[in-house]
Amino acid sequence: MAGSGASDDEVALEIEHCIRVFKSGRVERYFGSDPVPACTDAGTGVASKDRTISPDVAVRLYLPPLATEGGDEKKLPVLVYFHGGGFVLHTAFNAVFHAYLTSLAARARAIVVSVDYRLAPEHPLPAAYDDSWRALRWVASHAPGGAGEEPWLTDHGDFSRLSLGGESAGANIAHHLAMRAGPEGLPHGATISSGIVLVHPYFLGHGKVPSEDSDPVMAENVVKMWRVVCPQTTGVDDPWINPLAAGAPTMRGLACRRVLMCLAETDVVRDRGRAYCDGLKASGWAGQVDLLEVAGQGHCFHLGNFTCDDAVRQDDAIARFLNL
C-alpha cells in the first residue's frame, strides 16, 4: 500500500505557480478556476451574460453598446473565442478573460462568444475540440434561417462577419475548428466568413527552433504538457499539435479566407507560428495571411496588462480584422 501511495504522489507535470498534475490523475490548479459573474461594465457599457449549451459546454456572451447608421441599427461582427491555458487551465468565466474580452468587445465593437470547454487531464483531448465544435454549431444556429433563440445573436449579430479566435491552446482550437468546418460544414449555411485570429498559438513539432532558447524550461514544459492533455498522442508531430506534420490534413482545406497571426518575440512557440504561416501559404490555400509580431513581449503578455501599448496595438489589429 505504501508503494501505491508513493506512486500516487509522483508528479507528471508541474509548471510553477500554475498547475501540478500527478500520475494518479489528481490535479492542483493554482489560478484561473474561480468565476466572476456576468454584468454590465460601467466603463465600457459592454454587457455580458451566460448561456448553457449542454451539460459539458457553456458560453459567456459580450455585447457592446449598439450603434445606428442612417437611422437603422448597425449589426455587429461575431467572434467565437476560445481561451488558452494549455488545455489544462482557466475557465471562460474567470476574471482574466472576463476583463480582457470586455475590453476587446468594446474596442472591436463586436459580439464575443467565449467558450467554456472541458479541461484535461480530467477530460483528455479531443474533449476540448468536441466541446468547442458544439459551441460553434450553437452560434451558427443563429444565422439567418436558423432556429437559435439567443436574441443578442439573432437581433444584433452580422453573420457575414463571423470569426473564430483565441490565444495559445485556444488558437490551436480555432485552427482545428476551421479545418473541421470545411468537410462537415456549419448549420444554415453559416461560414467562417471573416477568418480566424491566432494569438500566440500552441503548436509544436519535431526539431528545435530558435524561439525555444528564450525559455528552455518552458519549452520543455509545453512538450510535457502535450503528453498529459493527449495521453494517446503520437508525440509532437501529432496533427492535433503540429498542423504541418506528415499525415496532417492539408491546410488548403482551412475553411476561411483570412488569417491574422499574432506573435510575441520572446514566446517559445513564436517560430511554430511563423512556420504555420509559411506552411499555409505553401499549401495552395487561396486566402490571405496577416502577421503581427510584437517585440520584447512573451507568451500571452496581453492577458497580464491589456492596456499596455503593445497589447492595445495587438487588439487594434484584431479589431480591424474583425470589422473587414
114, 132, 141, 168: which one is catalytic?
168
Mean pLDDT over 189-195 rounds to 95
Give 142: exposed, middle or buried? Use CB within 10 Å, 0-12, 13-18, 19+.
buried
Examine residue 25 and state whether it is found in any structural domain, yes or no.
no
Q: How far is CA 112 from CA 26, 165, 176, in A?
A: 33, 10, 19
| 180 found inside a domain | yes
- Identify the band that residue 242 occupies on the pLDDT scale cut at 50, 70 and 90: very high
Q: Give me the pLDDT at residue 3, please.
A: 45
Domain total of the chain? 1
The DSSP element (H or E) to which 159 belongs, if any, is strand 157-167
Question: Is 222 within 8 Å of 268 (Cβ atoms)?
Answer: yes
Q: Are 163 and 78 in contact (CB under 8 A)?
A: yes
Angle between helix axes 169-184 and 127-140 (nearest 10 degrees) is 60
Whether residue 117 lies inside any domain: the answer is yes
Residue 206 is a catalytic residue: no
217 vs 14, 18, 298, CA distance in Å?
A: 11, 14, 14
Computed on alpha carbons and rounded to an integer, the radius of gyration of the chain in Å comes to 19
Would you say residue 160 has pLDDT above 60? yes
Q: Is 9 a catalytic residue?
A: no
Whether residue 220 lies inside any domain: the answer is yes
Tens digits of per-residue pLDDT, 260-299?
A: 999 999 999 999 999 999 999 999 999 999 999 999 999 9
Average pLDDT over every residue of 49-67: 96
Place of cell 503540429: 242
Of 11-15, 54-58, 122-126, 161-165, which range is least confident? Answer: 11-15
Residue 38 sits in a domain of what CATH number?
A: 3.40.50.1820
Cell of 268: 517559445
Residue written as grid cell 473564430: 164
Active site residue 299: yes
Say which of 98, 142, 175, 299 is annotated catalytic.
299
Residue written as cell 466572476?
Answer: 36
Q: Is residue 17 part of a domain?
A: no
- pLDDT score recorded for residue 223: 96
For residue 12, tell me if it sits in a domain: no
Residue 10: inside a domain? no
What's the domain range around 209?
30-323
Q: Flag whether 148 is in a domain.
A: yes
Residue 152: predicted pLDDT: 98
Above 80 in pLDDT, residue 67?
no
Q: Which member of 116, 131, 267, 271 is catalytic?
A: 267
61-88 mean pLDDT = 91
Q: What stretch of H or E contains 73?
A: strand 72-73
Q: Is the distance from CB of 281 to CB of 166 less than 8 angstroms?
A: no
Proportion of the chain above pLDDT 70, given as a percent: 97
